[in-house]
Structure 1
Amino acid sequence: MISLDTPVQLSHLRLKNCFIRSAVHSFLGSTDGFMTDAEYQMYNTLSQNNIALIISGHCCVLAGGLANEEQIRIDDDKYIAQFHRAAKLIHQHNSLFMPQISHAGPRAIDTDNLFDVSARELKKNHHAAQLSCEQITVIKKAFITAAYRLKQAGVDGIQLHAAHSYLLSRFIDKTFNNRQDKYGGDIKNRFRLCSEIISGIKEKCGDDFPIAIKINSDSQTDDETYAADMDYVIDKCQQLGIEFIEWSGVDFINQPRSDSLYYFKRINTFAQNHSIPMSIVGGVKSVNDINTILASEIKLISLARTLICEPDILTKFASGQTQKSSCLSCNRCFAIPHIHPGIRCILHWKKMRQQHK
């Protein structure tokens, strides 16, 4: 069993417990960027099941940066009202709502003119040109404007998506960034765009508007140097007034199904050496996993695929109904929505098949 009654006080937010729904793309949005009734129902179910903070799936901040056909958008004022509705729904259950904002970079599907941090050849004979400083300025302003729209919607803050090979993460990581200007080179320069976006949001929305950031804890290139560079990133985030850092990793999809707490050792070391609140996501599957984190210096716990499989898993853990999630870590939740729209989990699909036999 676990307790769900221990609040966590952050700089500007008070969470009813330490549990966060990490951002996962829902595949439930419309093709014109709006939330559907199914999306609102998902938020209602999650907020009814003891989650302190719900982070939305990544929301597109700029045309040319769309990652998914049915991705929720926040690149126009017409999208503000849907976030107000979602926040009001979530707040009814004493949960908080923090949309995640993102730019897909060279993974964008809504443009033929692909750009990346540095020029590179892409799959399927595509090429990405290097972003100019003028283009970077446009992107930076888009993030700031998106955050301001979300503040108008009455959400509880925003999270910058700087992980999983989306654009901001590619600036941070030398795997992708070999620029020779002020946005490339050492970690100070590679984190510069994130820093400028954070400062810009604080200036536009006020110092008390909460900003979180999601970052990879590791890299495919010179991983030990990357880990050392994160000391600068963590200190800079604290200096900039970041509410908390949520750590993920570059290869969570490829982790063995039997493994758990994929990045715990490194993230706990970060937490031991720095006072800014941190959350861990990746392989949190059981009561034992949760108790391991609770015994560490990591203050917050994020769940993603586990909540796709069982939105009520925290309720089950707290009641002693189960000790381990049914999630198979099979990653079919990234494929099955394309085959069976509205369904994310293979176990849900199998159950529906059984019911209709």
Structure 2
Amino acid sequence: MKTLFDPITIAGMKLKNRFFRSATYDGFSDDKGHPTARLYKTYEDLAKGGVGTIITGLTSVSDAEQLESGQMSFRDDSFSAEYRTMTDAVHNHGAAIILQLAFLGSQCYSPAGDKTIWGPSAVKDVAFEKTPREMSREEIARMQEDFAMGALRAKQAGFDGVQLHMAHGYLLSRFLTPYYNRRSDEYGGSIENRGRALFETYCAVREKVGPAYPVLIKINSEDFIEQGMTFDECRFVCRRLVELGIDAIEVSGGYASSPPSAGPCRKEEGYFGSSAEHLAQELPVPVIAVGGNRDFDAMTEFIQHTGVTAASLSRPLIREPNLVERWQGGDRRRALCISCNRCFKLNGTACVFSAEA
């Protein structure tokens, strides 16, 4: 019988349990994106607290766009030694750490400054009220190369893998969404075309890091907006990425502009679990379920009765970094959780869109 504390292997990564800390925008880097003492402590505390695998907050891979306040960056080799300090600290406590790579696109709070906001089409963002410039083919290729170089630097700095952020309305996600992707070229129209930028990005990353390095994705099950990507389209994208060689899929959903009843502010337990279960039945790669995972017994039952490989948590681990250790020690009370507002503040730091970014 499967348990949440089983050691598992994903794409060669030996993980001490089935608990993932999903990517969380912490805002603890300096104004250039370099790690700070507070950021180091955040990740070391999570590793000490018993979680098997940590996925970092969304990390910038390119100087083509402006950083958000406190956002992590790995735009060039000058960050490498600092991130090696982070990965070594996490590994010393027996946890794995995966770097989440992202382009923000028009989903950003900070002014663009002298940078250009990129998007698949020049459609104003409903929530952030920023209008991007439609990307040229050359800019799409630049984005893909920046992702690939970010992944290579992550590998060299000791990260156990990378996760490509294809969810929640960030730039790769926008290509999948008909409302924001109105292109008439090979990157727009059908879901095969709307997925092309993602497929090419994955291939560029894989070429840089080699066949054995773990590359994961985070993807919306649905966008939950008018003219958004549907679950059937998500399934198509996932199947294609599996054919190309993706190693694991974390299933989430929603945009900042999604209605609270459909998006990340739902109150029920495991609100993307059904989508994760369906994908796990169809796909021959590990599927990780995120969203509303707070009850130990409910997560245990879900893992035991579905093909889903692991459970991913965020807000509970902000409140209790040692939550997994507490559960393993026999105290199985439901996880404590910070308030579920779209934009909340923790210790004076504003978190963007969702703790489960």
Partner residue, 1:317: 327
Give, in whole Å, the separation in 1 of the partners of 2:71 and 2:238. Answer: 29
Give, in whole Å, the separation in 1 of the partners of 2:220 and 2:103. Answer: 16
Give, in whole Å, the separation in 2 of the partners of 1:9 and 1:267. Answer: 19
The equivalences for 1:202-241 within 5 A come to: 202-221=206-225, 226-241=230-245
Give, in whole Å, the separation in 2 of the partners of 1:125 and 1:173. Answer: 17
Cα distance, 1:39–1:301 mapped onto 2, change above 3 Å:
same
Q: C-alpha displacement at 1:322, in angstroms?
A: 3.7
Q: C-alpha displacement at 1:305, in angstroms?
A: 0.9
Cα distance, 1:68–1:162 mapped onto 2, change above 3 Å:
same
The equivalences for 1:100-179 within 5 A come to: 100-108=100-108, 109=110, 111-112=112-113, 113-122=116-125, 126-179=130-183
Give, in whole Å, the separation in 1 of the partners of 2:213 and 2:329. Answer: 35
Deviating more after overlay: 289-298 vs 210-219:
289-298
Cα distance, 1:225–1:83 mapped onto 2, change above 3 Å:
closer
Q: Aligned with 2:56: secondary structure?
A: strand
Q: C-alpha displacement at 1:38, in angstroms?
A: 0.9
Partner residue, 1:181: 185
Cα distance, 1:223–1:260 mapped onto 2, change above 3 Å:
farther
Q: C-alpha displacement at 1:320, in angstroms?
A: 2.5
Using structure 1 for the length normalisation, give the TM-score: 0.88
How large is the RMSD of aligned CA atoms in angstroms? 2.5
Partner residue, 1:200: 204
Using structure 2 for the length normalisation, give the TM-score: 0.88
Q: C-alpha displacement at 1:122, in angstroms?
A: 4.2
Cα distance, 1:329–1:286 mapped onto 2, change above 3 Å:
farther
1:297 to 307, 325, 341: 307
Structure in which a larger fraction of residues adopt helix: 1
Partner residue, 2:355: none
Cα distance, 1:325–1:90 mapped onto 2, change above 3 Å:
same
The equivalences for 1:69-108 within 5 A come to: 69-108=69-108
Work out whether 1:285 is the aligned partner of 2:294. Answer: yes
Q: Deviations over 1:156-204 (max 9, x none)?
A: 1110011111000111222321211111112221111121121112111
Work out whether 1:308 is the aligned partner of 2:318. Answer: yes
Deviating more after overlay: 67-76 vs 246-255:
246-255
CA contact (8 A) 2:58 2:72 kept: yes
Q: Deviations over 1:96-117 (max 9, x none)?
A: 1111010001134352532311
Cα distance, 1:213–1:66 mapped onto 2, change above 3 Å:
farther
Give, in whole Å, the separation in 2 of the partners of 1:289 and 1:162. Answer: 27
Q: C-alpha displacement at 1:84, in angstroms?
A: 0.8
Give, in whole Å, the separation in 2 of the partners of 1:157 and 1:164. Answer: 21
Q: Deviations over 1:210-234 (max 9, x none)?
A: 1000001112357897211222222
Q: C-alpha displacement at 1:65, in angstroms?
A: 2.9
How many residues are treated as equivalent by the alignment? 341
Q: C-alpha displacement at 1:292, in angstroms?
A: 3.0
2:260 to 254, 259, 269: 254
Deviating more after overlay: 294-303 vs 315-324:
315-324
Partner residue, 1:347: none
Partner residue, 1:13: 13
Unaligned 5+ runs, structure 2: 353-357
Q: Aligned with 1:120: secondary structure?
A: coil
Larger gyration radius, structure 1 or structure 2:
1
Cα distance, 1:188–1:125 mapped onto 2, change above 3 Å:
closer
